[in-house]
Each structure stands twice: as structure tokens, then as C-alpha cells.
Structure 1
Amino acid sequence: MEWYGVKNADTIDSPALLVYKDRVQDNINLVLTMVQDPGQLRPHVKTNKLVEICRMMLDSGIRKFKAATISEAEMLGMAGAGDVLLAYQPVKPKLLRLLKLIDKYPGTKYSCLVDNISSARLFSESLSNQGTERRNLQVYIDLNVGMNRTGIKPADAFELFNELQRLSGIEFKGFHAYDGHIRDSDLEERTAHCHRDFNETEELRKKIEQAGHQLPLLVAGGSPTFVIHSTKQNTECCPGTFIFWDKGYSDTLPEQDFQYAALVLTRVVSLPDKNKICIDLGYKSVASENDLQNRVYFLNHTCLKPFSHSEEHMVIELEEGHNFKIGDVLYALPIHICPTVSFFDRALIVEDAEIVDEWRVVARNRVITC
């Protein structure tokens, strides 16, 4: 049986998210070898959304994390994480949720992003309204290094840094920069691209150091660039997809040897024509932002190509005379695993080719308690 095969697959309703626990641990062990010190790692948990996975990282010596949503941040509080960066600039309703989260999990040090003085003043005023007992809100200035999504240009950030020093209730912790636009397949070209786009950021950090401050911490990078950033002084790296890996990054980051650790089990549910089969892998079960031929790869039938896709179904065209029967199982490897996980409310845990447990995908919800 191949590594992905499940002996008791006939007991599983489909589509189902399968997580291979031993492979997850292997990926955690590998990422720790790719940096000089575990303290350099601040993994992004948007990929896994599972308390149990976060505890596996904690048990392996990883202490700091990054989250995209309040629910992911709360999941980390539930797991017992010590340091959590909400990689988002909250507007007032989300800020109030964050303050509740800080109160609920006092053992977790929470922080968030800011990229303008108006938001920083909102933070300061909201903290003042909460009373004098509240500790300062820790913030990272979000830098735009070419992603052009959020953040302030590094050339304009020195002034914001100075203004933050004067606001009550705000504690500057460092800079954050996400460089998801850097995706060169060739590592040498990707490295050069990364250095070019972060040149102004390094100049900014040196300018602040020359002004009499410590060299600010930089939280940067995702899966394509985290190893590049790991060579920089006072820098934390934020890979996320490594925990489960996917076909997209496996194809574009050939130098990284993480293992596939999460799949979707799907089945043939209809034979609509002599040269077509229909499976229960719709939009609601696998990330579908890419074009039709770049959404999923079937490990046990690698030649299959999607013909059409809808909410609950995927139709696959093949040659007449095929041997597929209704009920046949396919093991689908997502091209993009991160949004795929969020479609499922539970993950089935595979060990020794059998389903041994199920874990709630708790952070797929917009709200847990806070």
C-alpha cells in the first residue's frame, strides 16, 4: 500500500480531510534544521487551524507564532502558545475582540500590525478607555516591500516609528513584511529578488539603530523566502505551508523537501457518460482560485484531469473503456492546501494506514469565543 492509502477507507464519508500525523512531525523536524535556532521561527498557523498541530510545534520547541484571524489567535491561546502576532491591522470591532482575547489568555503575549498613524491613535484611545490596569498593546509596523496589499513603504516608516514612541498604551516591537510576491522557482534568482526588495527595509532598520535605538526586530517571509531571511540579524521567519505541504509549493520550491501530510479523500459518485466520471470534490472541498487544471492532483490516478467543477462535484474526462466504478476512492492532493483545510470542520488523523482519531478544525470558524 502507498503511504497515503487508508485501510479502513470504506468507513469514511467523503469528501474528507486526511492528516498524516507522522509526516506532520517529520515536517516540523525538518523546518527546525533549516534555521540556526528555533527562536528564529514564527510559523503562520493559517494553514493548519488545528490546536493539536500547534501543540505538536510547541512540544518540538517552537514558541512564537503568526495568525491571520482572531480565531487563529485564540486557537493559539488555547494551545498554550507564549507569543502570537496577529498579522493584521484591526479596525475597531476587531480591535475590541483582540483586547478581549488578551484578557482571556494572559499567558499568551499578543501583538498586531499597524501601518498608519490614524490606526495607531485608535489603538491608543481604545486602550485609554479600557482603564489604567491594562498593559500596553504591542505592535509591529507593517511594511509594503512589493506585495502592494497592506503596509507602509519603508521609506515612509521612520516617521511612523517616531510617532508611535509618543503614543500612550502602544509598545513598538518591530517591523513585519510579507513578501508573497517573491516566487521565483530558481533559488538563486529568488534570493536576489528578496535582497532587492528588502534593501530599503534594511536601510530603515540601520537608520533606527543609528538614531540610538536597538536594531528593530523584523518578522518576514513565507515559505519561498524564510530560509533567505533566516540569515539576517534579529529576524524571525514565518513559513506556514510546510506543516502540510502542497503540490503548488512542491513544484515551485524544489529545494525544500517537506512531505505531503494532508489530502482530501474523495469518491466516484456517478458515471455520467462513457468517457466521464463524477467525484464529490466540489468548490466546497478544495481550493479553487486557480484555473481548472491547477486545483488538484490525484496521487493514485495521476493522469486524471478535471473537465468541469461546481459546488459539490468535479467531472473528469477520460478515455472510453476505463475501469472506474461508483464508490472508487481517489486521494486528492490540493495544489493549495491552506484554503482547502478551512472547508472542513474536522480532520481525520492517519497513523499506520488507519484512521485513529479526528481533530476539530477549530480556527476555520470566524469566532470561537472572543
Structure 2
Amino acid sequence: MKDLNWYQIKNIEAVDSPALAIYPDRVRSNINELLSSIDDVSRLRPHIKTHKSTEVCRMMLEAGIRKFKCATIAEAEVLANEGAPDVLLAYQPVGPKGQRLLQLIQKFPHTQFACLIDNLKTATALAALFESAKATLNVFVDLNVGMNRTGVSPTEAFGLIKAVSDLKGINIIGLHAYDGHIRDTNMAVRTAKCDEAFAPVLLLQREASTYSQRELILVAGGTPTFSVHRIRKDRECSPGTFTYWDKGYSDILQEQKYQFAALVITRVVSLPKPGVICVDLGHKAIASENPIDKRVSFLNAGSLTPVGHSEEHMVFQVNDNHKYRVGDVLYGVPFHICPTVALYQNPAVVNGGVVSEYWNTQSRSRAITI
């Protein structure tokens, strides 16, 4: 039987708000759920952008995961510090990031690093930088499969691959295709859209592998299409939100059975007028890129209708006969956990219902030592 009060913190009076609370037992359960959902752990390349945490990286390494994805140089450094063998910077280094990546690779020779490219200008600049350092940079060609955020069209990518193959200082080892725009609740619809988007990618992979005379790695998808890509044995999969989970993905990805493992803690700070309460969960404490009614839901509150949100406050309409009092604690599930985590330098860690320590969200910083 499920413990409906699993989230309650016994020493909550010692926890200032707003706060982010992490439940490590649930994080471990989510990692185990991920491992049980795929045929081979070597096909997993989880993204760490959700948790940004040394401790969670360590948990995944202890579970046998050896390949990772990240979005920033700082996240890559956290992984390398923990001894991750294989790290893909799922970002194209432009400007000073190229030099920082070179320094990272030089500092951590026991980690195999790679990054993304999607144009010849960037590839040429990176090749020149690494050739001058007598080094070779591994790269994945980033493909645009409909997200329209980064990447080159799969139908145009072969020309880029041929041009980059002539450069010294750079080595194409794979293809990267993120289809985060495909997030239909209906699994059959999501699968059909995913397969359609990846048909030209598979053609490119065969053509490029024949040209280079070696099999190119294919890194595919994120959390929404993980359920599709995990059964295709020709690719690596890169979910990330599974570690902490959130309300947004819980609502649409109902086949994925992860648990909420990170909550926001907030308190009622004012009762400004009848039928209205205010809590200390402002823009600085919860991801606010979604509409106001899709930012947080509470595990221990009834129907709360958000009517205002500012830097330090969130205001809700409630029934006139409500029983909320100043000081009441609410436990909230973020709609989008990834940018919410980035708002907290030191999340509270809940073990056995007690906050016993605080972690350091180290890669929340843009730079650590490099």
C-alpha cells in the first residue's frame, strides 16, 4: 500500500522556505526503474540537466551507467570529477566555450568527451583550436528532426559530414537527434510521429557509416520519446527528468512509472483578504515559463486557483471558509522540475522523513574551475 504522506518532513520547522526538498530513496527507485526499462545499460546516456547534482551522478555511476549527456561545461566538469567515463556535451561550443572544452579535456584525460556541431563554420573553428593543441575533438552531428531549435536537416547533413571529414583536429563519431517536440499523450500517436521523424536519420546513418567505413553512434531523443527509442536497439537513449520527475511529464507520459522525488516547500505568509492566500513561492522559487495554472500542484492542499505570481509571492484564490493559516506548510510538485532545480543552490535532503543535510547544486553555476 502506498504511503500517501511520504513527503511529510518531521523537522519541517527547521527548514526555511521556499526550499527544494530531495528524496534520495525515490531518486534511487527512479534510477532502478530506468534500468529495468531497457535491454542493455550501455544504451543509456542519461542527461544530467535535471538534477545538476554530484550526488545523483554518483548514484547513476554506482548503478552501472557509464555514458552521460549534459548541457554546460560546468555539468561536464561535475561528471568528470565523479569519474564518468563518457560525456557528451549536448551543445555546440561557440565562442569561448571551445577553449573551455579544450581545457576540460586536458584536465580530465580519463573521460572521453564529445560535443555537437551543426555547421561548417563552428566545426572549422573547433578543428583549428584542437589541431593547434595537438588534440582531436570527438563530435556528433546535431540533426534537426522537427524541434527547430538546433541542428542541420538530416537530408542536408551528409554534405556537412563530408566537409568535416577533411578537417584535422576533429573526428565525427556519431549523430545526435533530439525530438523533444513530440510529446503526445497517446502512445501510438507519439510512436508514429517519432518513427516518421527518424526515418531520414536512419538513412543518413547508413550513408554516413558507409562513407566513413565505421558505424556512427546514434544518440536519440529525451524523456518524451524514451518509451519509443528504448525498444530500437540501434541507438542510445537520453532521458533526464526521470531522476526527479515532475507534474508536466507525469500528466502526459503515463506509461513511464517514475516517482516524484523533488518537491518545493512553501509556507502561507499572508491572508490579504477573504478567499485569498499568499505563499512564498515566487518566480525565484519555481519555474515560471508555463501559464500560471501550470507551475505547481500541491500534495497536501485542496483546490487552489492561482491568481497572481511575482518575484517572491504566489497568490491563490480559495473558498471563503478555508482553514489556511499563516505559517501552514505546503508541499508542491513542480510542473517543470529542471529549471526549478536551477533556482536552488542548496536543496534539503530528506532521509527517513527528516532533513539531515543539504546538497550543493554544483553545476547550477555556469563555471566551476574552467
Scaled by the length of structure 2, the TM-score of the pair is 0.97
Matched to 2:58, the amino acid is R
Matches within 5 A, 1:310-349: 310-349=310-349
Instruction: Indicate the residue corresponding to 2:121 in structure 1.
Output: 118
Aligned-residue offset at 1:79? 1.6
**Which deviations, in whole Å up to 9, do the C-alpha atoms of 1:64-98 show, x marking residues without a partner?**
10011111111111221111100111113011111
Matched to 1:183, the amino acid is R
Instruction: State the alpha-carbon separation in 1 of the partners of residues 58 and 5 from structure 2.
Output: 28
1:32 aligns with 2:27: no
1:152 aligns with 2:155: no
Instruction: State the alpha-carbon separation in 2 of the partners of residues 103 and 302 from structure 1.
Output: 54
Alignment partner for residue 3 of structure 1, among 6, 10, 17? 6
Task: For residue 42 of structure 1, give the secondary structure of its aligned residue in structure 2.
Answer: coil
1:77 aligns with 2:77: no
Instruction: State the alpha-carbon separation in 2 of the partners of residues 305 and 340 from structure 1.
Output: 20
Instruction: State the alpha-carbon separation in 1 of the partners of residues 352 and 212 from structure 2.
Output: 57
Stretches (4+) displaced over 3 A? 209-212
Instruction: Indicate the residue corresponding to 2:275 in structure 1.
Output: 275
Task: For residue 58 of structure 1, give the secondary structure of its aligned residue in structure 2.
Answer: helix
Instruction: Indicate the residue corresponding to 2:64 in structure 1.
Output: 61
Is the 8 Å Cα contact of residues 286 and 295 (structure 1) preserved in structure 2? yes
Alignment partner for residue 132 of structure 2, among 129, 153, 156? 129
Instruction: State the alpha-carbon separation in 2 of the partners of residues 160 and 46 from structure 1.
Output: 28
Instruction: Indicate the residue corresponding to 1:172 in structure 2.
Output: 172
Scaled by the length of structure 1, the TM-score of the pair is 0.97
Alignment partner for residue 22 of structure 2, among 13, 16, 19? 19
Gap regions ≥5 residues in structure 2: none
Instruction: State the alpha-carbon separation in 2 of the partners of residues 29 and 22 from structure 1.
Output: 11
Aligned-residue offset at 1:232? 2.5
Instruction: Indicate the residue corresponding to 1:365 in structure 2.
Output: 365
Instruction: State the alpha-carbon separation in 2 of the partners of residues 16 and 128 from structure 1.
Output: 46
Instruction: State the alpha-carbon separation in 2 of the partners of residues 114 and 174 from structure 1.
Output: 11
**Which deviations, in whole Å up to 9, do the C-alpha atoms of 1:288-346 show, x marking residues without a partner?**
11111111001101411211000000011111121111110000110000000000001
Is the 8 Å Cα contact of residues 52 and 79 (structure 1) preserved in structure 2? no
Aligned-residue offset at 1:367? 1.0
Instruction: State the alpha-carbon separation in 2 of the partners of residues 325 and 233 from structure 1.
Output: 54
Instruction: State the alpha-carbon separation in 2 of the partners of residues 321 and 233 from structure 1.
Output: 57
Instruction: State the alpha-carbon separation in 2 of the partners of residues 289 and 248 from structure 1.
Output: 12
Aligned-residue offset at 1:128? 2.5
Matched to 1:35, the amino acid is I
Aligned-residue offset at 1:164? 1.9
Is the 8 Å Cα contact of residues 185 and 253 (structure 1) preserved in structure 2? yes
Matches within 5 A, 1:183-198: 183-198=183-198
Is the 8 Å Cα contact of residues 145 and 198 (structure 1) preserved in structure 2? yes
Gap regions ≥5 residues in structure 1: none
Matched to 1:222, the amino acid is G
Instruction: State the alpha-carbon separation in 2 of the partners of residues 278 and 271 from structure 1.
Output: 6
Q: Percent of counterpart pairs with the same letter?
A: 50
Q: Which moved more, 1:236-245 or 1:220-229?
A: 220-229
Instruction: State the alpha-carbon separation in 2 of the partners of residues 27 and 233 from structure 1.
Output: 22
Instruction: Indicate the residue corresponding to 2:90 in structure 1.
Output: 87
- RMSD of aligned Cα (Å): 1.1
Aligned-residue offset at 1:210? 4.0
Matched to 1:125, the amino acid is A
Task: For residue 369 of structure 2, give the secondary structure of its aligned residue in structure 1.
Answer: coil
Instruction: State the alpha-carbon separation in 2 of the partners of residues 182 and 308 from structure 1.
Output: 31
Instruction: State the alpha-carbon separation in 1 of the partners of residues 255 and 81 from structure 2.
Output: 34
Aligned-residue offset at 1:106? 1.6
Instruction: State the alpha-carbon separation in 2 of the partners of residues 313 and 212 from structure 1.
Output: 56
Is the 8 Å Cα contact of residues 347 and 360 (structure 1) preserved in structure 2? yes
Instruction: State the alpha-carbon separation in 2 of the partners of residues 317 and 276 from structure 1.
Output: 5
Is the 8 Å Cα contact of residues 146 and 179 (structure 2) preserved in structure 1? yes
Aligned-residue offset at 1:209? 3.6
Task: For residue 102 of structure 1, give the secondary structure of its aligned residue in structure 2.
Answer: helix
Instruction: Indicate the residue corresponding to 1:207 in structure 2.
Output: 207
Is the 8 Å Cα contact of residues 92 and 122 (structure 1) preserved in structure 2? no
Q: Which moved more, 1:332-341 or 1:69-78?
A: 69-78
Instruction: State the alpha-carbon separation in 1 of the partners of residues 234 and 109 from structure 2.
Output: 26
Aligned-residue offset at 1:212? 6.3
Measured at CA, do residues 162 and 355 of structure 1 come closer, stay the same or move farther in structure 2, by a change above 3 Å? Answer: same
Matches within 5 A, 1:186-265: 186-211=186-211, 213-265=213-265
Instruction: State the alpha-carbon separation in 2 of the partners of residues 72 and 325 from structure 1.
Output: 41
Is the 8 Å Cα contact of residues 129 and 169 (structure 2) preserved in structure 1? no
